[in-house]
Structure 1
Amino acid sequence: MTHSGATASDSGATYVFAVCRDGGSHGASVSGLPGMPDGGTVRVLPAGALSAVVQTVPAADYTDDVWQTRLTDRQALETYARAHHAVVSAVSAGGATVPLPLATLYHDDGRVRRTLTEEAGRFHTALRRVAQHSEWGVKVYAVDEPVSAPSRPTPAAGRAPIAPGAGLAYLNRKRGIQERRERRREQALHIAESVDAELQQLAAASRKLRSALPDDQDPRRVQVLNATYLVAEHRAAEFAALAGVLEERTGTRIELSGPWVPYSFVSEV
């Protein structure tokens, strides 16, 4: 959550969804959008060569304490996140857009204009970077084939004791299973690296994200790559086709999602 001087005692604060170059092509795109619950009209706030898409909201509903409570309420958090994303998506349809994080709040419109003026260089750099680009997510899954664990040698009732060396043979079989599992894991990670390398050739930028834990419904389904790519719009079809080719070539499962507003590629500018 980003605050810039808003306090609970204020009657209203300015919520900022996104920053764009000018308001001429964005006013119509946000007209009629509800925005955040209990907020005013979603509008475009000009500031020189830049504009912010904003909404006046009750400041008391966006204090740190209130928002921390909201973060623990999954349904409420989803409501606010969807409202934020709906506005950002509408703005991005009108041109290059820098989406701001959920719950970016300023004391008033004047503070927003001041920020856009003071940080104009950074915003223009980000806008140039994402212009006519979208974000695509790629997840690569490998299947870890189950390996039967070796049975521990035990003497049957009335039989002679276990022959010498049987315990060592059991340990060797167990070690061999672990080594095969590790080799498969290394092979899957190598495939993931090769998939990432080829996709990067079609992308303007990329970021690796934390991989998820094994699927509860299928624990053999292991995620070996979770990445996001900034792709020019004219290369989107080529990027999607390459993902399909790589899936067939590598024998892994590749999940492609997008195009999205490039949230992941503006914060680092």
Structure 2
Amino acid sequence: MTTTSSASRAAVDTTTAVYVFAVCPRRAAPDLAGVPGQPGGGSVRLLPAGALSAVVQEVPAGEFTEAALHDRLSDREELELCARAHHEVVAAVARSAAVVPLPMATLYLDEGRARQAVIDDAHRFVTALDRIEGHVEWGVKVHVGNGDDAGAGTTSRTGGPPPGEKPASGRAYLDRVRGRRQARENREEAALRIADRVDAGLRGVAVAARRLRLHGPEVTGKHRRQVLNAAYLVEAGRERELRERVEALGREPGFGDGVRVELTGPWVPYSFAEGGAADGHD
């Protein structure tokens, strides 16, 4: 990311910066007509860089200084607008070519610097493009019911008896506490086994996989828990096989009604554009 110097601030409203969305093979000819890119910028186009092309757009420099970006991206609506514009450009390229997305708001002062940056990092880009060409990303999430909510309202947080019930003896109380602890541990182990079974079952279809950071209750809700959030790099054309595998896993004994296996995609392989050929936890 670049910022303008103090000497050029007076002209910042008329200067431009080069926004780089992604990198693709130079032989690629994606249809970028009508793809708007970032609001207020010029046409989205290809910038040749050796054997590669950068997907670029000229944007007003004053709107992409470090301070301006901080203000814009701190606003949720502005953040969503910028992220959606970035993704639409990447997706347009991905419809006809392998593409390595770059982080949002990757900027250079001019075309020459943008071109040289791609050339300097060409080996990494070529390696990533070779890995993902002809493949798409699929997401799989597994949720289980949160058994801790099953008895809500019948016992207190301290493990005491329900209102009106005779207090248990000390030993009975400790046995009940131990029983609840053991039940939680059993549920945890069962949930981890389910996640591992789904993950192992899908790796036979995928050429690479990544287990991503789990979502918390603010996303999943308090009555269910996410035990697997993974991305799989799958050869294009094997979608039916993947779907059938997911459906079969969801019917396996031991999963029960409280287990939900969710498949999403296909997506641009964001998770595998930066070395995702190896397993990882992000």
TM-score, structure 2 length as denominator?
0.84
Is the counterpart of residue 259 in structure 1 residue 261 in structure 2? no
**Which letter does structure 2 place at the counterpart of 1:96?**
A
Give the equivalent residue in structure 2 for 1:66: 68
Is the counterpart of residue 248 in structure 1 residue 236 in structure 2? no
Aligned length: 258
- Unaligned runs of 5+ residues in structure 2 are 277-282
| Residues 43 and 153 (structure 1), Cα distance of their counterparts in 2 relative to 1, 3 Å cut | closer
Is the counterpart of residue 214 in structure 1 residue 217 in structure 2? yes
- Report 1:1-269 matches (<5 A): 3=1, 5-7=2-4, 9=8, 11-22=15-26, 24-26=28-30, 29-145=31-147, 146-147=150-151, 149=155, 151-152=160-161, 166-214=169-217, 218-249=221-252, 250-251=255-256, 252-268=259-275
- Aligned counterparts of 1:80 and 1:132: Cα–Cα separation in 2: 28
| Residues 23 and 67 (structure 1), Cα distance of their counterparts in 2 relative to 1, 3 Å cut | farther
Which runs of structure 1 show a deviation greater than 6 angstroms over 4 or more consecutive aligned residues? Answer: 153-156
**Which letter does structure 2 place at the counterpart of 1:7?**
T
- Aligned counterparts of 1:153 and 1:87: Cα–Cα separation in 2: 59
Structure (1 or 2) with the larger CA radius of gyration: 1
Q: CA deviation at 1:104?
A: 0.8
Root mean square deviation of aligned Cα: 2.3
| Residues 234 and 151 (structure 1), Cα distance of their counterparts in 2 relative to 1, 3 Å cut | same
Question: Are 1:44 and 1:54, in contact at CA under 8 Å, matched by a contact in 2?
Answer: yes
Question: Are 1:23 and 1:46, in contact at CA under 8 Å, matched by a contact in 2?
Answer: no
Identity across the alignment (%): 48
Secondary structure of 2:274's counterpart equals coil
Which range moved further: 215-224 or 131-140? 215-224
**Which letter does structure 2 place at the counterpart of 1:42?**
V
- Aligned counterparts of 1:155 and 1:229: Cα–Cα separation in 2: 53
